[in-house]
Amino acid sequence: MLRPMATSNYNPDVLNCIANLSNDEVFTPPELANRVLDLLPKELFNNPKTTFLDPFTKSGVFLREIVKRLDRGLETQIPDRQERIDHILHNQVFGIAITELTSYLSRRSVYCTKTANGRYCVSKFSTPSGNILYKNLTHTWENGNCKYCGANQSVYNRGTEAEQYAYMFIHTDNPNTIFNNMKFDVIIGNPPYQLNDGGNGASATPIYHLFVEQAIKLQPRYLSMIIPARWLSGGRGLDSFREEMLHDNQVKVLHDYESSSECFAGVEIKGGVCYFLWEKGFHGDCFVVTHGINKVVSAQRPLLEIGFDTFIRHNEQVSVLHKVKQKKEPLLATWINAGRYYGFHTKIEWKSNHIDGLLQTADGQDFVKMKSTKLNNSYVRVYIHGGDCWVCLNDIPRNRDRVDEYKILLPRSGNPGSTIIGKPILSEPGSCSSNTYCVVLPPSRQLTENEAKNLFNYIKTKFFRFLVSAKTTTQSTSTNAYDFVPLQDFSHPWTDEMLYKKYRLTEDEIAFIESMIRPME
């Protein structure tokens, strides 16, 4: 069998191939690594004393590209090539691998061999690790979780034959001792993003912020990392991290990508990704570059706009939100109740033929009998994921007195980049919902049928969903996603045109809303 003829100009970078492997530890393509390195001042690569650390190296791509830049930058100062490479690898470039396998891969990328004291190493070290370390650590369990990373003991308390994912850089109170109190000018890389927490489905706990916080403790001159972008406005367990980062005026540059595929081909990261440059001692507005689906927009602005508690992703959103805020109107958030308002979970257990079943209560301990059809007037419709069912009114655990009125149900799962929120339901008297929906009700009065219909149509406007998008980056639409949405006079209907006129939006602002938000049927 004949082999295909090789083309003379095809010379693929093996690290590009590796970067296409999807994992919670997403590998970085060389092109992306160089974009991040471009944020650093060029003079760093002309200085033989500059030190670099990638504390979670996987393929070694950052270290390899740093060595290339130092090799060029120090050419006149250290003319002998071997002497120059020896100096760079022994004194300037350091790494901490996340697994034993990636330690071999990183050394292969940087030293051209998996062992730094091996025969084929481009610069001989006295130890197999060289300056790319790896130590097989175990988690430190406290009350069922690791005290350093929060890993679930039931998931990660494994035998020695399995990977522990107890990352060396964050599983210590004193990260400065890893390299004998060495001071680093630059800490850079792409940390692991999350750990499986043993929950339902693909439930996972974010950990990337732990690497950022640990790196800041080392007080480098520059810090740059690629991380998921959802921390900017939401994300489980990220409130304190977001608070600290958005108030830290040392974040000098932020590149925000709505779609992760623009950075990592074939890898979907909900909410997109971002990379930033943190510069010690810098104080001022951040240079924010928003990489949208169809265009790139940049602006010099604070990460945290005055009057807001979250990062506003699009520059065009800032001006609209300020115009809405100036009205000082009551907010819809005061009407929104969490999904378990009526005391039901999302879990359903149908019996044969979907005639009878069980609906789990919010406390997760009990089940309520349910039917696929209404048996008599004592039964109430329950809107659940994918449809509805019927339960006895007396079996509703909570807020039974508010079942017999009009309300709006908002799905807790949305469509970022499209309709933003899922399809709302105008829930009639004699109905309620499971945890699949948030419930919209005035706290101290009932909605008339006319008001409910007008509220329902207001929710479907592009203007409404544009305001929600300012605090929504993933499919999960929590109650605080509606914090920017004002209440209206619902004695009459609202259209987008009426709302644009009321808030005096410009043609450019209107055009941006129309281009960003899709119609909702």
User: Is residue 6 pLDDT above 60, yes or no?
Assistant: no
For the chain, give the number of residues: 521
C-alpha span between 272 and 252 (Å, rounded): 20
pLDDT one-digit tens code per residue, 222-270: 999 999 998 987 777 888 999 899 998 899 999 999 889 899 988 888 8
Task: Determine contact, residues 481/338, Cβ cutoff 8 Å.
Answer: no
- Are 408 and 424 in contact, with CB atoms under 8 Å apart? yes
Surface-to-core class of residue 278, CB atoms within 10 Å of its CB (0-12 exposed, 13-18 middle, 19+ buried): buried
Q: For residues 90 and 86, give the distance between their C-alpha atoms in angstroms, rounded to a whole number.
A: 6
Band (474; pLDDT cuts 50, 70, 90): low
CA 353/CA 330 separation, integer angstroms:
47
Q: What is the pLDDT of residue 359?
A: 87
Per-residue b/e over 385-424, b at no fewer than 16 CB within 10 Å? eeebbbbeeebbeeeeebbebbbbbbbbebbbbebbbbeb
176-213 tens-digit pLDDT: 999 999 999 999 999 999 988 766 555 688 999 999 99
The predicted model scores a pTM of: 0.82
> Where are the alpha helices (H) located in 400-518, listed in sequence order?
449-459, 462-469, 496-502, 507-516
pLDDT tens digits for 157-179?
877 777 889 999 999 999 999 99
Q: 434-443, pLDDT tens digit by residue?
A: 999 999 999 9
Q: Within 10 Å of residue 38's Cβ, how many Cβ atoms?
A: 11
CA angle centred on 26, ends 300 and 178, rounded to 5°: 85
Checking DSSP bridges between strand 286-291 and strand 251-257, what pairing results, if any?
Answer: parallel
Q: What is the pLDDT of residues 376-416, one digit of tens each?
A: 999 999 999 888 999 999 999 999 999 999 999 999 887 76
User: What is the chain's mean pLDDT, rounded?
Assistant: 89
Q: Decide: 99 and 24 in contact? Cβ < 8 Å.
A: no
Query: What gap in Å lies between CA 233 and CA 302, rounded to an integer?
Result: 14
Separation between Cα atoms, residue 131 and residue 184, nearest integer Å: 13
- CATH level 3 topology of 14-244: Rossmann fold (3.40.50)
Residues of the chain with CATH 3.40.50: 14-244
Residue 11 pLDDT level (bands cut at 50, 70, 90): very low
Residues 502/302/483/505 CA torsion (nearest 10 deg): 10
Is the pLDDT at 507 greater than 80? The verdict is yes
Measured between alpha carbons, how far is 189 from 95 in angstroms, rounded to an integer?
A: 10
